[in-house]
Every structure is written in C-alpha cells, then in structure tokens.
Amino acid sequence: MDMPAKAKQFPLPSSLKVVPGTERAQAAYPYYTQFEAADDQRFWFYNSMHFPEPMSAFDMVTAEAAYCALGSANTRVHCLPTTLGIDHRIINGRVYIGGNAVTDPAEIARRLEEFKQRAFYYYANWERLYDQWRDKMMALIHSAQALPTPYLPDLEPLANVHAGRGIAANHTLLDTYQKTLEGYFRMWHHHFEFLLLGYGAYLTFFDFCKKAFPEITDQTIARMVAGIEAEIFRPDDELRRLARCAVALGIDPHFGKQLSATQLIETLRTEGEAGRAWLKELEVSRNPWFNINVGDGFYHYHRAWNDDLSMPFASLPDYIERVKAGETLHRPVEKLLEERKQLIEDYRELLTTEEERAAYDQMIGLAHRVFPYVEGHKFYCEHWYTNLFFNKIREFGALLAEHKFFGDAEDVFQLTHYEVESAIIDLMTAWSNGSLPRGPGHWPKLIAERRAAIREWAKHETPPALGVVPDVIDDPAIVMLWGITRESLDTWLSSGADSDPNELKGFAACRGVAEGTARIVKSVDEISRLQKGDILVCQVTNPTWAPIFGKIAAAVSDIGGSMSHAAIVAREYGLPAVVGTGNGTSRIKDGQRIRVDGGRGIVTILG
C-alpha cells in the first residue's frame, strides 16, 4: 500500500447526517446509541458483518444484548489484558462499533495477572465447563419454551380465582415479556462465556502458521482446525436422512410434484402408513435440528426452517434423486477426519526443528479443544434460542394486533423493546380498567414512518468507518471477530481509486473457478429461482443454505470470512466460493454472467 493513507480520512461521526425525513425514526433508538460530539474523537466502523441491512427498532436488541455480554466477558469476567468492551452507535439503522483499548502499561500488567487466573482456568477445564455450558443452555431453552403464549381472557378464569392465585392474567403478560427479554440477554452472556477465548486459541494457531508458512492460505488453516461433526452440519444431515427415508418408504414420487410444503404434508398424512411414517421421521428431525434460521439470527425476519418448511423441503427433491441414483448421502466423516489429520501431519513435517513441532502440537491441540464451542454455540444461541425469542415477541405482536395497536403481528418489530413493554403496559392497563388502550391511536403512524425510514436507509450507502484512523489496530476482539486490521482500513480508504469496476474482491473461501449466471438471492423465498449451474449471490450464506449447494456452480456473499460456516460448508461441497465481498449483491446484477475464482477470492463480472 504505497498510497499515503493520511491523505484520506473517514468522515467524522458528526458529519454523517440522518437521512432527511427519517429524523423521527432515528430518534426512536435509545439515547445511549445516538452519536454525540465526543464520538468524533474516536474510531468507529460499520458492523456490516452482523448487521448488513438497516435494523428495525426492535432488532436493535440483538446489538445491545450482544455487546453487553461481550463487554462483560472481556472487561470484567476474563479480564482481557489490552481491551475492554465494544461501544455501539446507531445512525440510519446502521450499527457502528468502536473498541475500548487499555493502553496504560500498569493497568495491562494488572489485568494480565487477572486474565491468567481466569482465562487459563477456562482453558485448563474447557471440556468440563463446556459440558456445564450445554446444560445451562438447554435449561435456558427449556425455560423459554415453557413461557406461556400471551393471552388476555375476557374475565379471569374461575379456577384461578378459586385457587386464590391473586394475580390477574394481565400481569402474566408483563411477567412473560420481561422473562423473554431477560432470557435473551442471559443467552448472550452464555454465548460470550467461551467465545473470545475460543477464537483467541484458534488465532494463536493461525498466527503461528502465518509466521511458519508465510504463504499459507487462510482456508488451509481453517481446514486444519474445523470440526467435522459440529452441530451446524446436523440440519443438512437430517435432510439427507429424510431423503433416504422417503426412498426407502417408497413415497418419493410425491416430492417431484412441485407441491408446497403444506400440500405435501397433507398428501402424506392421507397417503397411508408410509406417508405417516415419514412424517414421524420429519418430526424427529425437526426437534431440534430444524430450529435453524435462514440468516445469522440478527434479524427478526430470518425465520427458522421450523417456521417455514419451504426452505428445507426445496432441497428434498434433489437429494431424493441422488439417493435413487445410488448415493448414500452420508457425509464421509471418517475420511474427512483422516484428511484433516494428514493435513496437520504434513504441515508439521515441514517445520524445521523439534522445538517448533512441539509448539505447533500445543497450539493445534488447544485449537482443537476449543473449536467445538466456536462451531457449536451458534446452533444453540443464534439459531435455536433466537428463534424462540423472536417467535415469542411475534406472539406479543399478534396480541397487540388483535387489540388494534397495529395491523400486523410483524409490526411489533418496529417498536424498541422499551416501547413493546410500554405497549404491553398500555394494554394491561386498559384491560384492567375496562377502558380502551391508547396504542391504536399512537402506533400505526409511527410504524408506517419507521418502515418507510428503513426502506429509505437501505437506499443509502453508509461509510465503512468513521473518525480518526488509528495507527495500529491491536484490539484482539476487533481483529478476531471482524478481521479488521490497519491494512483492511487502508483498502477501504483507497477503494474505488484504482480498482477494476468489473472485479470484486473477497475472502477466498473455497478454491475452484466457475462461470455462470448470477442470481441475486436476497431472501429464502427466492431460492426456487436458482437453476442448476447458477451462481448464488447473496448477503450472507448460512449452513441452512447448504442443501442448494449441490445444485449451484458457485457462491458469492457480501459478508463472511474464511472461517465462516458458509466457507466451511462450501469447502465440504467443493463449491467455489468467495465470501465477504462487501457489496456483491449491489454491484452484480441478476442475470449477469460472472466468474468466481474461489482460490483467489475474486469475482469478475463478464457482462
């Protein structure tokens, strides 16, 4: 990078204006998330990895709860020596974040001693603590499942009265809502209990490999560490199992009839013994493995397979065809494990001294111990629990819609979590008093305004970073979680200056070169547009999309790193993939011919 970086600067937060006409929607976000004058002194970057689209008022809770938990783990629990938590700000629906570094050497030294007593205890007792973690997480999931559906009877049921319950149904609304919110914040604490320590151990090995083998690719290191039997592969494995079942039971012809999921289930229910047997197997798969959502879990509209079977069902015909053609569709777990082992041994052999080999063994050993958590937690946290959470809020949405607070249950997500509570209290109060709630006169206009604001915000590009560029980024949390380094900032600063307009760069996720027709797929509903040989261009790929990986020629995503699950799955399918292009879905037009070079991380628009 010979370009003088100082010549360009990111805009200051104070110069970034709220899109005209959306000021009131912007004001809906809590005061502590609004930029203030002092923020001009700090460096911020747009968290497009987790929040690629403008966030609705309610969905902001995913940022708030996550940063709250991440920060407490870093700052107060494990005491990372050189960094505290991450502050966040919201403007135009976009989430900007900034780290808090520790720079005073005495404070670093003090924190280092604490870190050794805390983090090292986790490393030393990882398996036991992780087992305990699973129990905690399952208990949390069960308590969320046990929460009642919010409901207001006309009169308190007689049984409650005779039982001397002493609290009325409206209080249960508040109780349930607060427990829902509390559970969600708690879930994020569990999420970060191990995460940074896990990434840190992984990156330690990564760093060693980069020093020992300066030209090794990220994906090779990822292949050495990645787990083979992680929970994240299970949903797709279940689909393959269901495809085998369908063929074994002889009901496979029904899957080729282009029926909707509902029609198909109805047909099988009335089909006789075989159909019902398959539906039973479907239930086994659904609980819990279909509790996986089609995004990363940060948006309420990333629905779970269980809530929308069209996604998993879309891939069944293809799998069934392959079973009929003689494939078993079993993932070759033994073979994959053997390959991983060989890869690790081969690189080990290239090291020059026994001393280096001993260090390598320790680091890969640690990475292997921590990685099941890094891979496994997502299923429980971002998928299973998050689905339960959003669906419970959706139930409140339905209740509020029933009482004319707004037209549609989904409108609830246009309220902040504080506002949802206020609407619930409004409703509770009205129910108590036999009067009318004020909400129906208050919310519809605001909701329309906020929906319009999100549409407007989505049209505006937002700067990748704001404020003063630091000389070095040595905040391990930021480097680890977002892969942001001084070098990537320089690239952002110079982007557009000398780049080829027909070329997009991203992370090389899976090698191989493929050409084909680009299909911009922004939501799951559009999956059916993908024809065999097409190239999927999307914002985030997710393990749940794996079933269509067998059909397409390559995949390109806006977001993701070489260790993202999409990259792992792509490698397993041998599907050329470039992830983290930043803006592939906006620069590539649907139907264009593109070439994907997954080994180099380059996408070329051919026309």
Partner 1 sequence: MAMNDSEMVGWFAELGLADRPQVGGKGGSLGELARAGIAVPPGFVVKTAAFERFVESAEKEAPFRALVDSVDADDLAAVTVLSQQLRARVEATPLPSQLAAAIERAYAALNETQQAPVAVRSSATTEDAADASFAGLQDTYLWVQSLEQTLEKVRSCWGSLYSVESITYRRRHRFPERDVAMAVVVQTMVDARTAGVMFTRSPLTGDRSVMAIEGSWGLGSAVVGGEVTPDRWVIGKITGEISVREISNKQICHVPRNEGGIRSVAVDESQRLRACMSDVELEALRLIGRKVERHYGRPQDIEWAVDRHSGAILLLQSRPETVWSSRETAPVGRPAEDPSLHVLKIFGGVNR
Q: Which residues form the interface with partner 1 (CB under 8 A)? A: 80-83, 108-109, 111-112, 115, 119-120, 123-124, 197, 200-201, 203-204, 207-208, 211-217, 220, 343, 346-347, 350, 352-353, 355-356, 358-363, 365-366, 474, 476, 480, 511, 599-600
How far from the centroid of its chain's Cα atoms is residue 83's Cα? 24
Of 407 and 574, CB closest to partner 1 = 574
d(CA 135, CA 91): 38
d(CA 374, CA 197): 9
Of 245 and 364, CB closest to partner 1 = 364
d(CA 556, CA 135): 37
Name every residue whose Cβ is closer than 8 Å to that of residue 85 and which is 6 or more positions away in sequence.
Answer: 67, 70, 71, 72, 74, 75, 99, 100
Of 129 and 480, CB closest to partner 1 = 480
Q: Which residues pair with 504 in a beta bridge?
A: 603
The least CB distance from residue 43 to partner 1, in Å, is 18
Peptide bond into 288 cis (omega under 30): yes
The least CB distance from residue 361 to partner 1, in Å, is 8
Name every residue whose Cβ is closer than 8 Å to that of residue 552 and which is 6 or more positions away in sequence.
Answer: 516, 530, 532, 533, 534, 535, 536, 575
Count CA within 13 A, CB hemisphere, residue 471. Answer: 0
Of 368 and 378, CB closest to partner 1 = 368
Q: For residue 347, give the amino acid letter.
A: Y
The least CB distance from residue 554 to partner 1, in Å, is 16
The least CB distance from residue 598 to partner 1, in Å, is 10
Distance of CA 134 to CAs 107, 192, 228, 236, 381, Å? Answer: 34, 13, 19, 22, 11
Q: For residue 19, give the amino acid letter.
A: V
What is the total residue count of the chain? 607
Q: Which has the closest alpha carbon to 44: 117, 95, 108?
A: 95
The least CB distance from residue 335 to partner 1, in Å, is 16
Of 12 and 351, CB closest to partner 1 = 351
Q: Return the structure tokens found at 15.
A: 């110069």
d(CA 413, CA 400): 12
d(CA 112, CA 120): 11
Pairing mode of beta strands 554-557, 535-538:
parallel
Of 362 and 523, CB closest to partner 1 = 362
Of 290 and 482, CB closest to partner 1 = 482
Name every residue whose Cβ is closer than 8 Å to that of residue 283 and which is 6 or more positions away in sequence.
Answer: none
Q: Which strands make up the sheet holding 593-597, listed edge to edge? A: 503-505, 602-605, 593-597, 513-521, 535-538, 554-557, 577-579, 507-510
The least CB distance from residue 479 to partner 1, in Å, is 8
d(CA 543, CA 290): 12
Of 247 and 343, CB closest to partner 1 = 343
| Residue in the structure block whose two tokens are 């007792």 | 125
Of 273 and 354, CB closest to partner 1 = 354
The least CB distance from residue 208 to partner 1, in Å, is 5
Distance of CA 340 to CAs 220, 227, 374, Å? Answer: 10, 9, 18
The least CB distance from residue 76 to partner 1, in Å, is 15
The least CB distance from residue 223 to partner 1, in Å, is 8
- DSSP state string for 433-449: HTS--SHHHHHHHHHHH
The least CB distance from residue 196 to partner 1, in Å, is 8
The least CB distance from residue 220 to partner 1, in Å, is 5
Q: Which residues pair with 595 in a beta bridge?
A: 515, 604
Three-state DSSP at 604 gives strand
86, 67 Cβ separation under 8 angstroms: yes
Of 196 and 242, CB closest to partner 1 = 196
Of 114 and 456, CB closest to partner 1 = 114
Pairing mode of beta strands 593-597, 513-521:
antiparallel
Of 111 and 378, CB closest to partner 1 = 111
Q: Return the structure tokens found at 22.
A: 């959306």
How far from the centroid of its chain's Cα atoms is residue 12's Cα? 29
DSSP 8-state secondary structure symbol assigned to residue 563? T
The least CB distance from residue 96 to partner 1, in Å, is 24
State phi, psi for 325 to the nearest 5 degrees.
-80, 0
| Residue in the structure block whose two tokens are 């292997």 | 368
Of 32 and 121, CB closest to partner 1 = 121
Of 200 and 288, CB closest to partner 1 = 200
The least CB distance from residue 331 to partner 1, in Å, is 21
d(CA 40, CA 14): 6
527, 315 Cβ separation under 8 angstroms: no
The least CB distance from residue 224 to partner 1, in Å, is 10
Of 174 and 513, CB closest to partner 1 = 513
The least CB distance from residue 364 to partner 1, in Å, is 10
